[in-house]
Structure 1
């Protein structure tokens, strides 16, 4: 039986503000306590947590709308350490692996490089100041692949970062494009994890218009689905078999309907490139990727587990955006996961993947 002692002990004192975000739990006397599974203490690691650095604003003509929007939680992306620690403690999250969603792919190369430089310096400083609570993904100027290679190498070798956060494409250019091969080669060489976080599919904005925020609700998972499918079908993952990919939001729609990919070229050979012969079935490539747990229900986790294996799932919340304010509870509720698998999902797998001491 999974032990929830130490996990729920302080939950009663946690409140939520009107926008759904956690209030400063420390102000209410909430203390950070350990999560235990089957009597074993777990270091919980949230691999999907966001931040921005206001130091870039002068490069953006002080246009705060580039960094902020009307989405709930956006005002907490500039990290106030005490506030963030209080929220993490209330969520039972020991460490966040921080990332900045790329907003610079369509900008001038030199300007983008300046933004990335500041992001990576500030990320490294933040993580070095609080190594027990924060780890970080680098930003990359992917529109200039040769520059991205140098940025990634510096991030991994000199700045202590764990890899890089990338979008679902680069201003409409898919990651399977050969221009990005040097970046993937360097990531493979360094053992860098590439966290794929979608930016939507603006080509469909007209159809997404109307109620339901479909540009995000559907557009974001679709962006990830396309990115992963392209990397599989264009042979990129055969070229770089050691590439470590972590996909946000449970990998989008792909794991939920991946088996269709195994049949597509059989049903329509004309729709596939005869010059590309994959080394494995498309679904088998999913077993060499990692996926965060931000898919909301135990049944969704059960299906993802059946498709890719529990060993490929890591904790993710999207904090400070209020998609999943109780990410650890979510894993405890998954009866399909054994105690050992819960320990792995909550932090063990991420620690190994990202070389984080526990």
Structure 2
């Protein structure tokens, strides 16, 4: 069975510095090993893919990527460079790699143009966004130009976590909860809900959002969201689709990246449907072979397994 992974990270020597803040949330030896693997694009990575039975990786720049750059002009230049490099790697191994563009969201118009160039000229399959950009989230009015371009091109934006702007008060004194252990998931799920209630999917009803880590727990709370929306003070917000869950079932696609557990997978299948779930390994932060073995042995139908493994990715990304 063909297997395509959608959350497969890399970094370049020139961009390593942007990820320095993430080192504090990992055990030093684990971070050193992950950092080494991030820099390897085609050597050990291909060997590991072969051993795990992973046919294709859709490569993306590791968090926080170019979004950590404070200068907009520098961000634009570096996005161009890294997307050109990624396209070159894919051209050398077209049967093994595809890619998501990095966007200089510091300059929304330039980001939209870079998305168009990356898709139309470089053959990339969408873009990956690492959380906020200097504190600005994807529901910001100035970023509507990026959503307009993504919807027009028919490509998804993949929303990936990164370190937050600040530390929520409830986490003060508990640094062990900051990062992928807990806070990244809650912040990313909140970011998605900002898009729903901020009207992004009303403005761009066919926009496609990808979310890793089995949907950052959102499939688990759809009924609760709808129930409390009916009860809640809406503060003047109206939804064209009426229920929050309607947007998550229509616009949201999730990947299994970083979650090799049957229970949340079965929940996601029931909540979102098999057409909206794709495979990912979260390389190099999770073991590739563990992820592919989970996919092969998960208690789902063979038809759903094929959709998750490759059919949904082929349809969504045009692979």
Query: Which TM-score applies when normalising by structure 2?
Result: 0.90
Whole-angstrom CA distance in 1 between matches of 2:41 and 2:144:
37
For residues 87-118 of structure 1, the C-alpha deviation after alignment (integer angstroms, 9 at most, x for no partner) is 11121100000001333324100111122111
- 2:45 paired with 1:84: yes
Give unmatched runs, 5+ long, in structure 2: none
Please say if 1:238 is aligned against 2:202.
yes
Q: 1:98 aligns with which of 59, 63, 80?
A: 59
Q: CA deviation at 1:81?
A: 1.5
Alignment pair present for 1:317 and 2:276: no
**8 A Cα contact 1:302 1:334, kept in partner:** no
- Partner in structure 2 of residue 151 of structure 1: 114
Deviation per residue, 1:145-166 (Å, 9 max, x gap): 0000110010011011011010
Partner Cα distance (2:277, 2:192) in 1: 16
Aligned to 2:244: 282
TM-score relative to the length of structure 1: 0.80
CA contact (8 A) 1:193 1:244 kept: yes
Would the aligned equivalents of 2:131 and 2:159 in 1 still touch at CA under 8 Å? yes
Q: Is the 8 A contact 1:202 1:215 kept in 2?
A: no
How many Å separate the matches in 1 of 2:95 and 2:18? 30
Alpha-carbon distance between aligned partners in 2 of 1:198 and 1:256, rounded to the nearest angstrom: 19
Question: In the TM superposition, what are the counterparts of 1:85-234 in structure 2 within 5 Å?
Answer: 85-100=46-61, 101-106=63-68, 107-204=70-167, 207=171, 209-210=173-174, 212-234=176-198
Offset from partner CA, 1:289-324 (integer Å, 9 cap, x none) = 110013221111001111101111111111011266
> Deviations 1:186-238 (Å, cap 9, x if unpaired)?
00001122111111434226626546453321111112201111111122111
Q: In structure 2, what is the Cα distance between the partners aligned to 1:216 and 1:182? A: 30
Is the 2:106–2:133 Cα contact (8 Å) retained in structure 1? Answer: yes
Q: Structure 1 residues 265 and 210, CA, compared in 2 at 3 Å: closer, same or farther? A: closer
In 2: Cα distance, 1:276 partner to 1:140 partner: 30
CA contact (8 A) 2:189 2:216 kept: yes
**CA 1:163 to 1:179, structure 2 compared with 1: closer, same or farther past 3 Å?**
same
The match for 1:45 is 4
TM-superposition CA deviations, 1:107-137 (whole Å, max 9, x none):
1001111221111010110111100001000
Give 1:56 shift.
4.6
CA contact (8 A) 2:67 2:133 kept: yes
Give the paired residue count: 307
- Whether the 8 Å contact between 1:205 and 1:215 is mirrored in structure 2 is no
Hey, what does 2:313 align to over in structure 1? 350
SS of the aligned residue for 2:39 comes to coil
Structure 1 spans left out of the alignment, 5+ residues: 1-41, 58-62
* Bigger Rg, which one: 1
